[in-house]
Structure 1
Amino acid sequence: MNYSEYISGQLPLIISIPHDGQLFPPEIPDRKKNYPSVVKSNDLNTQDIGRELADKIMLHFNGKRPYLVINHLGRSKFVINRPIKEGVDGKDSITLTDIKDVETNFGQGLLIDIHGHGHPENFIEIGYVLSAWKY
């Protein structure tokens, strides 16, 4: 159904693009806003950023590319990087085979999850669940 795209890599690096999908099939129910953290709006342009980052890394590492995982479903339908009850209605499990592949081939790796934000500042943020602070 082309709901997701997986490009195998040759480096211990996974680039995930979870929230820029443009498919909204009516047969997949919309996610419910049962949790305070449920966001249903898409991140913008993160597919372009993630693909360009993968291409730059490939150039730097002599043609070896990172793994690339892209969710093509809109965020109102499916979220790949959330616990199952928040990520999708009516599904039981999510398996990321690329994580197992990296662990098998390299022992460990790095996952880069590409996101957008709605802040008025034009910042690049690195981190996870960071509290707000002044720059």
Structure 2
Amino acid sequence: MKKHLQRRKRRSVPVPIASMGDIAFLLIIFFMVCSEVSKDNSKARLTLPFSEFVEKIEIPVAARIAVDENGEIFFDGYQVDSVKEVEMGVRALLTKTVSDDQRHVQFKCDAQLTKEQFEPVIKAIAAGGGIIEAVGENNE
């Protein structure tokens, strides 16, 4: 005598996928806002200087200062009128820092600028309490 085996019917559990698209877009927007690329919105047109001593540093920066080919100064992407504004801006950003890791300021300048043109900006960053991270291109 054969016994008939009865198979159990599997119940399908519905997975709600309607909101997954919303979640994916929210995650994309979150990572775009938090990324370092979105913070570098400088309108400065410059050619970075070359050096054999360039190395990549993974330390987050508190501010980004750039001096373009015309000597115009940009603080976090916005043009400022004087070196004094750079010093005061860096000082204001760094007032509540507790460690040196929070005091790094990225500095970019055009390769064609002379020392007399960019040195006051470097002095202003230092006077404001920033640790300067100069940006350049590798010779390789």
| Bigger relative contact order (CA 8 A; separation at least 6) | 1
Q: TM-score, normalised by structure 2?
A: 0.25
Q: Please identify the structure whose Cα radius of gyration is greater.
A: 2
Q: TM-score, normalised by structure 1?
A: 0.26
Q: Which has the higher helix share?
A: 2
